[in-house]
Structure 1
Amino acid sequence: MRTWMMALAAGLLSLRFLPVLPASGALAALLLVAAICLWRRHAVVACVLLGFCWACWSAQQALVDRLSADLDGRTLWLEATVIGLPAHTPNGVRFEVEQAQSRRAALPARLQLSWFSGPPVAAGERWRLAVSLKRPQGLLNPHGADREATLLARRIGASGTVKAGERLSAQSSSWRNALRQRLLGVDALGQQALLSALVLGDGSGISAEQWQVVRDTGAVHLLVISGQHIGLLAGLVYGLVAMLARLGLWPVRLPWLTWACVLSLSAALGYGWLAGFQVPVQRACLMLAVVLVWRLHFRQLPASVPLLLALNGVLLFEPLASLLPGFWLSFGAVATLIYCFAGRLGGWRPWQAWTRAQWVIAVGLLPLLLALGLPVSLSAPLANLLAVPWVSLVVLPLTLLGTALIWLPGVGEGLLWLAGGALWGLFETLALIAQWRPAWLPAALPWSNWLLVALAAWLILLPRGLPLRVPGALMLLALWPRLDSVAHGEAEVLQLDVGQGLAVLVRTRHHSLLYDAGPSFGEVDLGEQVVLPTLRKLGVDKLDLLLISHAHADHAGGALAIRRVLPVARVVSGEPTAVAPALGAQPCVSDEAWEWDGVHFSLWQWAGADSSNERSCVLRVEAAGERLLLAGDIERGAEQAWLARPEAAQVDWLQAPHHGSRSSSTGAFLRVLSPRGVLISRGRGNSFGHPHAQVLARYRHLGMAIHDTALEGALRLRLGRHGQVSGQRQQRRFWREPVAGSAASP
């Protein structure tokens, strides 16, 4: 039976790794093969094929439900019902809708919308909205998060920005929203948002500082409702019944074990209902139900059986769950505990089991965290050793009891005040731990090194006394690989996908330069959220030069976040007095030139510039006769001034000035430079209309290859090899749209 379940799980999980989905005809043929295998009693092969076909068919249905390409970027009037708990922020409101209807087109079943400076929105309300819709897509960088996969796993068929709207009907089911407002209105020592997160799974009010603390300490699972909370509540109820039975206080006529299982599952389902039964909660409740049934009737079976049953149950219910990191981490944590605690000889005292559980999970999840590109919290064992029992035995019971009694004046508020105080003390402690040991984001490992780390974790978790544990610990040295360095005389160029902004990394054999740092607008700092993590995963631990072309927020906004974390030897800017003073920027000096590892660099700035864009500091890079020009946001005037210089010669690659705006990329400039290709950095569907159609036509007329981050993701070029530009989207995944041929070709 276990073999069959493992085979079914293998078929279901294979979806996660497919570059493309098989055609319907191929799936039908595989189903026929599965039927033949069942008839011939080859059940293992049949289970693999059945799981694979079901997962692929489900994924195809989700892809079909995406917004059609001809509606991408269009503004439509639609009517829809708000679902879930909208997230209200200082900039507006984010929410999801379903049952969207439009007279002009068929729409996906679920949409994710943002309404800047919009009115309050509540679950259950019916709205008529004017929405600018986009197909699901996100920034795509090496080893970075994949928003397309997340949206597909949540079956969101489009995102959009609301331009106008009117409420058609009041909320029909508003108890969760009313409870949230009540929780946010109590006196809880400033921890109201955390109480709402614990009760309702609503993390929209949690501050960026609080998120950073729990990320650094590996305590994210304690913040918003997850399998951890479902298990904690069920365990408390189960333990209470078991304790009453042991003390002789439980009614004899009622079998304590049966009632313990029933009551704990009922408590978990009630908690899940309170939290809106999001996918992680559904997964946790299903896992708990399987474990309790195993506890009641099938204890003679190995502990891996309920894990496999829960795994297959979750994937059969939602095959796309394997695209979410939380799926792998939750099942990985349970599998690690089963591996280390089931069937081991010798007994452990409760405190020993508890302390060992923390470091066991830390070691067991290390390979998964590395594979998913997530930060590794070095302080997680210590932080969770304190936080888990505090949340389990103090915060969670007080919070749930206070919520249940909130309608009694003074009683519920008092309990929630105590819960808030407990949370305040916990976060003060976690903040100290995070300051002492923040999360570590290692460089992305080659597969050979990752396999060594995975093997090392398995060996370390072997039973005590086995001699292989010491070699396993030594194998963890694979965490620090010798990364492939750039050859002497060459430069690796990576134009990151930062939306409507610019960030270009240039690396030689021993040096790193960052040209612009990505945008920062309000709460969104892509320097911190995208550029910095990408640099870390690429193994860049310092910058020899941070060059900020000019002071506009889409180029300089992320510089401070990078400067705070990475050592930077020197900062240069075309507008040194206009960028943040903390950067300590030096002015761009025309004709300054230097050489790193056989690669030549030179700077230039137009002396007659009278605008911020025209003051952009231009960088010219040459490796083995192949030239790249990074032009920032220069426009016609600076382009004409550049043509008067002796260096105004042919280049191989051009970063499109000012994101391809109509005020740049003049015909004379392009004809003199005559690049093989242009690299455009811009946001998909941006409000500026970049790149302009006339500029694109000019590029194509002159036979230039066009590479666009909005279509291809991050762009990579090895300068000095006279090769081609590769886009991150060329690494095919079935959920990613292929590169649009109209923009990628001349």
Structure 2
Amino acid sequence: MRTGLVALALGLLAPIFLPALPPLWLIAAMPVVALMALPFRTYPLGFFLFGLAWACLSAQFALDDRLSVALDGETRWVEGRVVGLPQQGDGVVRFELADAHSRRTRLPTTLRLAWFGGPPVNSGERWRLAVKLKRPAGLLNPHGFDYSAWLLSRGIGATGTVKDGRLLQAARGAWRDEVRQALAQVDANGRSGALAALVLGDGGGLTREDWQVLQDTGTVHLLVISGQHIGLLAGLVYLLVAGAARYGLWPAGLAWLPWACALAFCAALGYGLLAGFEVPVRRACTMIGLVLLWRLRFKQPDPWWTWLLAFAGVLVFDPLANLRPGFWLSFAAVAILMFTFGGRLGPWRWWQTWTRAQWLVAVGLCPLLLIVGLPVSLSGPLVNLLAVPWISLLVLPSALLGTALLPVPLIGEGLLWIAGGLLDLLFKGLTLVAGRMPAWVPAAVSTWALGIAALGAFLLLLPKGVPLRVLGWPMVLLMVFPPQEHLPPGQAEIWQLDVGQGLAVLVRTRRHTLLYDAGPRFGEADVGERVVLPTLRKLGVRGLDLMLLSHADADHAGGAPAVRNGLPTREVISGDPDALPAELLAGPCDSGRRWEWDGVGFELWRWASAVESNQKSCVLLVEAGGERLLLTGDIDIHAERALLDEALALPIQWLAAPHHGSRSSSSMALLSRLKPHSVLISRGQGNAFGHPHPQVMARYRRSGLAIYDSAEQGAIRLQLGAFELPRTEAGHRRYWRDRPTVGPPGQY
């Protein structure tokens, strides 16, 4: 039976590796073949096909529930019910709308909406909203967060921006939102948002600084409800009943063990419902229920059997859960603890158990964190030694009890005041640690090196005395010092990152690095901090020789402060340095400046008669082995005419579309003189500016240019000097990504 369960789990996991889902007729045939295989020794194949068919069918249903292409970018009146816990901050209300419908238009079941400057929105309310709809999409960058997968795993078929709305019905049955509002009104020493995260699993009240501190110290799992919290509450209830029975305080007519198991499971389930029943909570509740059942029946539970049942059970009820990193981290952490403690011949002292558990989990999860693209906390093993008991033994009991006793005057509020004060003390300590030892964002590791490092981590988890265990250390070090592939002299690696409506281009030679523009920032949405900086680090960039900001517009230079603060930068120059923040210490773009790095030539140009910011864009020509790329910023037709009179206007192979392909640029005179064979467009999908303009696109096609568009193909990498076709992130196909692969020249 265990073999069949393993095969079922593998089948449920298999679609995550598929570039596209099988056709429906093949999915329908899988259960038939599975039934034929079950009575024979091939029964594992039957279980595998059952799992694969169910996972593929669930994924297909989720894909079919996405917004139709015809409605992408359209504005429709939509009616639905607000679900979950809406988030409000920085003048934006973000929430999910379920049971969405519109007259004569089929809509996805669930929408994720943003209302800029909107009124308070509460869970359970019914609204009629004017929404500009958008198909699920996210930025595609190397080793970056896959927003499309996250949306699909949550059953969200469209996103949108609310233009107007009217409340139709007040909230009904939104008890979680009511609890959150009650917590927000309590004096919790300024930590009501952290209390909501701990009690309800609602992280919306935590600031960006709070999240960064938690990430740097490896304590996110302590504030956003994890299986540890569920298990602690269930264990506490079980021990209370067992203790009462041991000391004669339990009713003699009631068998204590069934009651202890039932009450412990009810406590776990109740806390899980309060927390929104996310994947870690579902896993914890499933495992706790199985352990209690086993304890009731066999006295000594089999932990691996319980883990496997929980793993397969979560996937059966939610086949798309494996698209979320939390699913893997949650089950992996439990498996590591069971493996390391289950293989010991003798017991450890309590302090050995506690300290070793922390570093064993840290070592075991490190390869997985690299795979899912999350940073690694260097201080986490040490910080958790104190933070875990602080939260589990002091904060959590007072927070839960205070929440339950809120209707009782003074008592509930007093307990929450204590819990908030304890959380505030914890955050102050975590902030000090995070300031000295931030999280480590390792460079991406090749598949073979990651496999060796994972094997090394496995060896380190083995008990002492196992042969070859010591070899685990040098194998694990491959994650810290991965083999580097150096560019040959005379070639340059170019990455046009996918930053939405903006621009960020990385240029690397063998020993030098240049960043041309740093992505946009609009309000609190800093793409430089959230996308550009993490991507550079994962690509192995540890410093910049030059940051070249074409001009001062927010879509080009908005992310520059975050990138400069995060990476050592020798020099910053710009075509409009006076309009940039003084902290950047930007120098001017000296037109005609030339230099060479590792056999790759660079040359700058700026229109001396420029009046407005776009015209002041600093243009960069990069030449490697006779292959040329021209980065043009946001120059317009007038600047293009001036450029054509310069020696810089040479025939090139690659042109970065001026001003994202706007109608005021990319003149026919420029294209005729430069004669590029390909154009790179960086823009946001469905942007409000209409970039690229249809007339410009028609001009590109008439000139026979191959078009590479970040909104369609994600980040684009080319190796200048090798005369090769570029590589796009959309080329790494996954069934949930709504982007086509590269088309022939002149097409998407």
TM-score (norm 2): 0.98
- In the TM superposition, what is the alpha-carbon distance from 1:576 to its structure 2 partner? 1.4
Deviation per CA, 1:207-230: give whole Å up to 9, x if none: 011100110111111112232221
- In the TM superposition, what is the alpha-carbon distance from 1:726 to its structure 2 partner? 2.3
* Structure 1 equivalent of residue 42 of structure 2: 42
Take 1:79 and 1:28, find their aligned partners in 2: how far apart are those partners?
35
- In the TM superposition, what is the alpha-carbon distance from 1:175 to its structure 2 partner? 2.7
Q: Map 1:572-583; keep pairs closer than 5 Å.
A: 572-583=573-584
Q: Map 1:344-355; keep pairs closer than 5 Å.
A: 344-355=344-355
Q: Map 1:691-706; keep pairs closer than 5 Å.
A: 691-706=692-707
Take 2:301 and 2:289, find their aligned partners in 1: how far apart are those partners?
16
* Structure 2 equivalent of residue 439 of structure 1: 439
Q: Per the alignment, in what secondary structure is the counterpart of residue 329 of structure 1?
A: helix
Take 1:102 and 1:30, find their aligned partners in 2: how far apart are those partners?
36
CA contact (8 A) 2:546 2:571 kept: yes
Deviation per CA, 1:502-529: give whole Å up to 9, x if none: 0000011111100000111111111111
Q: Map 1:187-336; keep pairs closer than 5 Å.
A: 187-299=187-299, 302-336=302-336
Deviation per CA, 1:522-549: give whole Å up to 9, x if none: 1111111101111111111111111111
- In the TM superposition, what is the alpha-carbon distance from 1:235 to its structure 2 partner? 2.0
CA contact (8 A) 1:707 1:743 kept: no
* Structure 2 equivalent of residue 76 of structure 1: 76
- In the TM superposition, what is the alpha-carbon distance from 1:275 to its structure 2 partner? 2.3
**4+ residue runs of structure 1 moved beyond 6 angstroms?**
740-744
Take 1:337 and 1:278, find their aligned partners in 2: how far apart are those partners?
22
In the alignment, structure 1 residue 94 sits paired with structure 2 residue 94: yes
Q: 1:738 to 1:685 in 2, by over 3 A?
A: closer
- In the TM superposition, what is the alpha-carbon distance from 1:299 to its structure 2 partner? 4.9
Take 2:160 and 2:226, find their aligned partners in 1: how far apart are those partners?
28
Deviation per CA, 1:626-656: give whole Å up to 9, x if none: 1100000111111110011122121111111
CA contact (8 A) 1:519 1:558 kept: yes
Take 1:11 and 1:683, find their aligned partners in 2: how far apart are those partners?
37
Q: Per the alignment, in what secondary structure is the counterpart of residue 190 of structure 2?
A: coil
In the alignment, structure 1 residue 63 sits paired with structure 2 residue 63: yes
User: RMSD of the TM alignment (CA)?
Assistant: 1.5
Q: Map 1:5-154; keep pairs closer than 5 Å.
A: 5-154=5-154
Question: 2:597 is matched by which residue type in structure 1?
Answer: W
Q: Per the alignment, in what secondary structure is the counterpart of residue 345 of structure 2?
A: coil
Deviation per CA, 1:169-189: give whole Å up to 9, x if none: 111223322221221111111
- In the TM superposition, what is the alpha-carbon distance from 1:571 to its structure 2 partner? 0.9
Q: Map 1:729-744; keep pairs closer than 5 Å.
A: 729-739=730-740
Q: Per the alignment, in what secondary structure is the counterpart of residue 189 of structure 1?
A: coil
Question: 2:633 is matched by which residue type in structure 1?
Answer: G
In the alignment, structure 1 residue 430 sits paired with structure 2 residue 430: yes
CA contact (8 A) 2:358 2:385 kept: yes
- In the TM superposition, what is the alpha-carbon distance from 1:298 to its structure 2 partner? 3.9
- In the TM superposition, what is the alpha-carbon distance from 1:252 to its structure 2 partner? 4.1
Q: Per the alignment, in what secondary structure is the counterpart of residue 78 of structure 1?
A: strand
Take 1:175 and 1:301, find their aligned partners in 2: how far apart are those partners?
36
- In the TM superposition, what is the alpha-carbon distance from 1:301 to its structure 2 partner? 5.9
Q: 1:698 to 1:290 in 2, by over 3 A?
A: same
Equivalenced residue count is: 746
Take 2:29 and 2:473, find their aligned partners in 1: how far apart are those partners?
47
Take 2:75 and 2:509, find their aligned partners in 1: how far apart are those partners?
45
Take 1:127 and 1:683, find their aligned partners in 2: how far apart are those partners?
29
In the alignment, structure 1 residue 168 sits paired with structure 2 residue 168: yes
Q: Per the alignment, in what secondary structure is the counterpart of residue 577 of structure 1?
A: helix
* Structure 2 equivalent of residue 534 of structure 1: 535
Question: 1:341 is matched by which residue type in structure 2?
Answer: F
Q: Which moved more, 1:26-35 or 1:617-626?
A: 26-35
Deviation per CA, 1:143-179: give whole Å up to 9, x if none: 0000000000001000000111111111122332222
Take 2:596 and 2:343, find their aligned partners in 1: how far apart are those partners?
62
Flag structure 2 segments of 5+ consecutive residues without an equivalent: none
Take 1:299 and 1:458, find their aligned partners in 2: how far apart are those partners?
31
* Structure 2 equivalent of residue 585 of structure 1: 586
Q: Which moved more, 1:682-691 or 1:472-481?
A: 472-481
Q: Per the alignment, in what secondary structure is the counterpart of residue 229 of structure 1?
A: helix
CA contact (8 A) 1:519 1:555 kept: yes
* Structure 1 equivalent of residue 521 of structure 2: 520
Question: 1:655 is matched by which residue type in structure 2?
Answer: A
CA contact (8 A) 2:641 2:670 kept: yes
CA contact (8 A) 1:573 1:588 kept: yes
Flag structure 1 segments of 5+ consecutive residues without an equivalent: none
Q: Map 1:712-731; keep pairs closer than 5 Å.
A: 712-731=713-732
Q: Map 1:401-480; keep pairs closer than 5 Å.
A: 401-479=401-479, 480=481
Q: Per the alignment, in what secondary structure is the counterpart of residue 38 of structure 2?
A: helix
* Structure 2 equivalent of residue 495 of structure 1: 496
Question: 2:670 is matched by which residue type in structure 1?
Answer: F
CA contact (8 A) 2:705 2:745 kept: no
Q: Which moved more, 1:459-468 or 1:120-129?
A: 459-468
Q: Per the alignment, in what secondary structure is the counterpart of residue 39 of structure 1?
A: coil
Take 2:271 and 2:172, find their aligned partners in 1: how far apart are those partners?
21
Q: Per the alignment, in what secondary structure is the counterpart of residue 371 of structure 1?
A: helix
CA contact (8 A) 2:343 2:463 kept: no
Q: 1:511 to 1:303 in 2, by over 3 A?
A: same
Take 1:352 and 1:243, find their aligned partners in 2: how far apart are those partners?
26
Identity %: 60
CA contact (8 A) 1:303 1:342 kept: no
In the alignment, structure 1 residue 679 sits paired with structure 2 residue 653: no
- In the TM superposition, what is the alpha-carbon distance from 1:742 to its structure 2 partner? 7.8
TM-score (norm 1): 0.98
Take 1:691 and 1:287, find their aligned partners in 2: how far apart are those partners?
52
In the alignment, structure 1 residue 610 sits paired with structure 2 residue 603: no
CA contact (8 A) 1:490 1:719 kept: yes
Take 2:137 and 2:400, find their aligned partners in 1: how far apart are those partners?
38
CA contact (8 A) 2:90 2:524 kept: no
Deviation per CA, 1:546-579: give whole Å up to 9, x if none: 1111111111111111111211111111111211
* Structure 1 equivalent of residue 373 of structure 2: 373
Take 2:21 and 2:299, find their aligned partners in 1: how far apart are those partners?
40
CA contact (8 A) 1:153 1:323 kept: yes
- In the TM superposition, what is the alpha-carbon distance from 1:699 to its structure 2 partner? 0.7
- In the TM superposition, what is the alpha-carbon distance from 1:192 to its structure 2 partner? 0.7
